[in-house]
Amino acid sequence: MPVSGCIMKMYGVIIYCSLFFICWPVYGVGYIEVREAWDSASKEHQFKLGAGYHFRNGAGLLYQTTYNTGKNLDQLEHSFDEIEGWYPLWKMTDALTLYAGGLINSTSSGSTTAPYIQFGYLVSPDFAVAFKYRYNHMNYQTRNLSGIMDYNDSHQFIAVANYKINEVLNYEFEPDLYINSGEYHRKNGKGHSWELNHKVTWKMSNTWRPFIQLSWLDRDAGNHAERYRIRLGIRYYL
């Protein structure tokens, strides 16, 4: 897509989401987020524009669109669009809640559908944990290791620990385990891979929340290097 077309699309997303969320303040809170990411193995940058809405009952909606900006920030190539939603199915206790959710994303190759279930537990007012299982289903087929056309699906197990350090700083740790369900290798050349994410958010004001995330994404066999990722972004609450 030409750069001018990508820019016009991003402007459209910002305007649409802003108008939608401003019109729904009584039901929850909305936000817009921009983020830059860099992958140490590929040396490539990625730009994300996203918007979300958290309802007062615990449900939520999230939309994001991402662009590959190259190794030297000299391009704006569309990567994928993604929509996610979740809903609190069962509040078992004041501290424990069962959620159901799912997402769908679209790339130039096809789309992926990923339903999930999640248990969220509030340990204390400053500390919360969550455990999620997600099944990532590719809605298109590719050749597997045996040369047969199949779906490159995967199981994803996610744990999240979120700690409020003080009134302005928040720390989040999220390990992810991916296990392929078919005869496919992940980027590390194996049938499974790990992802470890560390995120710190600064409450600069009631509306502005800059953040940094440092991640280890297992090994990139194609680039013969460990994969590390740095994300820098800011979220604006409407």
**pLDDT digit string, tens, across residues 143-162:** 999 999 999 999 999 999 99
* pLDDT score at 219: 96
**Contact in structure between 30 and 14 (CB atoms under 8 Å):** no
Torsion angle of the four alpha carbons 134, 136, 137, 143, in this order, in degrees rounded to the nearest 10: -150
Q: From residue 171, how far is each of 41, 122, 162 by CA, in Å?
A: 25, 15, 6
Rounded distance, CA 82 to CA 107, Å? Answer: 9
Which residues, including other chains, have CB under 8 Å from residue 45's CB and lie 6 or more apart? 36, 37, 38, 68, 69, 70, 71, 73
* pLDDT score at 11: 47
* pLDDT score at 238: 87
Domains of the chain plus CATH, in order, are 3-237 (2.40.160.40)
Which DSSP helix (H) or strand (E) runs through 66?
A: strand 60-70
What SS3 class is residue 25?
Answer: helix
Q: Would you say how long the chain is, in residues?
A: 238
**pTM, whole model, 2 decimals?**
0.88
- Count the alpha carbons within 13 Å of 15 in the hemisphere toward its beta carbon: 6
What SS3 class is residue 31?
Answer: strand
* pLDDT score at 17: 54
**Contact in structure between 139 and 110 (CB atoms under 8 Å):** yes
**Contact in structure between 104 and 61 (CB atoms under 8 Å):** no
* pLDDT score at 28: 83
* pLDDT score at 196: 98
Q: What is the DSSP letter of 27?
A: G
* pLDDT score at 78: 92
Rounded distance, CA 9 to CA 61, Å? Answer: 20
Alpha helix ranges (H) inside the chain: 3-22
pLDDT tens series, the chain, 238 aa: 444 445 445 545 544 555 455 445 557 899 999 999 999 999 999 999 999 999 988 999 999 999 999 999 999 999 999 999 999 999 999 999 999 999 999 998 999 999 999 999 999 999 999 999 999 999 999 999 999 999 999 999 999 999 999 999 999 999 999 999 999 999 999 999 999 999 999 999 999 999 999 999 999 999 999 999 999 999 999 8
